[in-house]
Structure 1
Amino acid sequence: MDAPLDPRLTWDLPAFGAMARTADLEPLVTRVLAPNPSGMTLDGTNTYVVGDPGSGQAVLVDPGPDDAAHLAAVEAALAGRDARCVAVLVTHHHGDHADAALPWGARFGARVAAADPAVAGPGGRVLEPGEVVRLAGTTLGVVATPGHCADHLAFRVESGAVLVGDHVLGRGTSVVSHPQGDVVAYLESLRRVHDLGPSALYCGHGPELTEDPGAVLDFYLAHRAFREEQVLAAVAAGARSVGELVATIYAAVPREVWPAATSSTRSMLDKMAREGRLAVSGDEVRPA
């Protein structure tokens, strides 16, 4: 099986580290990039300011790290829209998306909403898949996207764009965290977002994807199938542990991301073991 071609390689996307700190993506959405770049967060966490420009209000989606410089940039974006923050929405509980939720919610006097009650906090709102959040002169549809982790949500804006958090990244592919993640749920979530026919994917990390969002989702699905074939080939060639699989499959990938690759590989092995395609016991992997 040949490796699928990533359509983004031919797109005119900003180089790593060249994303603007603040960008108006459409009338409803402004993106503010947090100053927390890394191998895992790519250019940094994307915080989204969402609302009707004439409403005087806005919703923050994924406030990110509780960082003073990032807060100042978000407050400048709010001022640029002549808006006050009326709610903080969080796609999932990971700290690079959620750490600022409660402190910023308190600062703005805004209610926090998330799928995880611990993220929403006391007095917060626990979001349910399929519900519609009506705030800031607009609506946000709540889309269940578990897989990267169990509590992951995406938000569909009225324009048809989807704020996908870590479900899809602007560069590379997402990690299916182990043991919180679930590859089967992740694949189902990719198809669910695909069925929405998104006009754009506004990612938790990396640039926004506007040219052909469906092609990126197709690539993500094909990439997971390709990884499974690589695992089967490596086991057939003699690999007998998770470490050996990662060293073989991710040999060309910087070692700093091998822990994330190991997490995704473990999640993939769980799926393949349930399907009876491999025998897995702890770190040991054998043909079925």
Structure 2
Amino acid sequence: MVEAQEWTRIVTRVLAPNPGPMTLDGTNSLVIRSAESETSVVVDPGPDDGHIDTLLGLGPVELILLTHHHIDHTESAERLSAVTGAPVRAVDPLLCRGGEPLHDGELLLAAGTRIEVVATPGHTADSVSFFLPEDASSITEHPGSMITGDTILGRGTTIIARPDGSLADYFRSLDHLAAFGAIAVVPAHGPMLADLADVCRRYASHRRERLTSITAVLSALGLPPTTDPGTVTAVVDAVYDDVPTEVRFAAEASTLAQLEYLADHTGG
């Protein structure tokens, strides 16, 4: 059975055995439960494999939440719902089972605690984060934590997953998250981080540096910011020349999103 690890006062991480270039160590399935509660909330139950037994072993589940539609987060949600009777809720109505779609600013009362829904589109259009105001962690003195899905990762940076990802939305989501301050970051891949506001600033800075590099490449080649395949290839070859072959598709997806952003914001 996969080991469960207490990450914060009310969040336990169960690491799905699906490591890879895009999933890092694997998908972090997160179990929320206060000390006073007999039931829990599972966020991103993950792929349909052996770690589900660990999730079930942590006690009754009253609610299943999804941060976005990617299969490494959602595949086992329907089975977990069938076994536990817990509804599945997500931004996308097609992912919901026995529950309504999530809405930005909605306050959920479950597992003996408060869970605030924070819409964070950008990685995907349906990406959402969850603010736990009553949580606490040893990695920061600031109360509260934020479950960020793939919007913020424990290592590296996320991709803007076209066709529904948007860099403009992503910048707005980073600004939104930064306003919650120096609280703990609980990501869907990789380790926890100590300062949400600082991470958001670094993520935004990284994206703007990439935009500057892409603009310089376009200028040198005399190309406009378009999503023409030849332009994408030229930019990826120049800006992402150190990216391993197995994740080049991710660099291409991010480049497409950045070219779209430049086209919209420079009149190209």
Which residue, 56, 62, 65 being the options, matches 1:89? 65
Q: 1:206 to 1:21 in 2, by over 3 A?
A: farther
Q: Is the 8 A contact 2:180 2:197 kept in 1?
A: no
Equivalent pairs counted in the alignment come to 251
Counterpart of 1:26? 8
Flag structure 1 segments of 5+ consecutive residues without an equivalent. Answer: 1-19, 279-288
Task: Tell me, yes or no, if structure 1 residue 228 matches structure 2 residue 218.
Answer: no
Q: CA RMSD in A?
A: 1.4
Matched, 1:74 2:55: yes
What is the CA–CA distance in structure 1 between the aligned matches of 2:204 and 2:93, rounded to whole Å? 30
SS at match of 1:247: helix
Contact 1:25-1:31 at 8 Å conserved across structures: yes
Task: Give the drift of 1:21.
Answer: 4.4
TM-score (norm: length of structure 2) = 0.90
State the alpha-carbon separation in 2 of the partners of residues 21 and 37 from structure 1.
15
CA deviation profile, 1:7-45 (whole Å, cap 9, x unmatched): xxxxxxxxxxxxx94310122110111000110111100
Q: Which of the residues 44, 52, 73 maps onto 1:62? A: 44
SS in structure 2 at match of 1:162:
strand
Residue in structure 2 matched with residue 8 of structure 1 by the alignment: none
Q: Is the 8 A contact 2:47 2:76 kept in 1?
A: yes
In the aligned structure 2, how far is the partner of 1:244 from the partner of 1:124?
46
**2:115 corresponds to:** 140
Is 1:51 equivalent to 2:33 in the alignment? yes
* Structure 2: runs of 5 or more not aligned: 136-143, 224-230
Query: Hey, what does 2:161 align to over in structure 1?
Result: 177
1:238-281 Cα shifts (integer Å, max 9, x gaps): 27510111111111121211101111110111111011253xxx
SS at match of 1:125: coil
Residue 107 of structure 1: which of 83, 105, 113 is its match?
A: 83
Q: Residues of 1 paired with 2:146 and 2:222: CA distance?
A: 39
Partners of 1:199 and 1:254 in 2: how far apart? 33
1:235 Cα deviation (Å)? Answer: 1.1
Match runs of 1:126-205 below 5 Å:
126-157=101-132, 158-159=134-135, 160-205=144-189
CA distance in 2, matches of 1:114, 1:66: 18
CA distance in 1, matches of 2:53, 2:87: 20
Amino acid at match of 1:118: L
How far apart are the structure 2 equivalents of 1:139 and 1:102?
24
Identity over aligned pairs, percent: 41
The structural deviation recorded for 1:75 is 2.4
2:262 partner letter: M
Counterpart Cα distance in 2 of 1:42 and 1:244 = 27
1:12 corresponds to: none
2:146 and 2:184 in contact (8 A); partners too: yes
| Aligned AA (1:104) | L
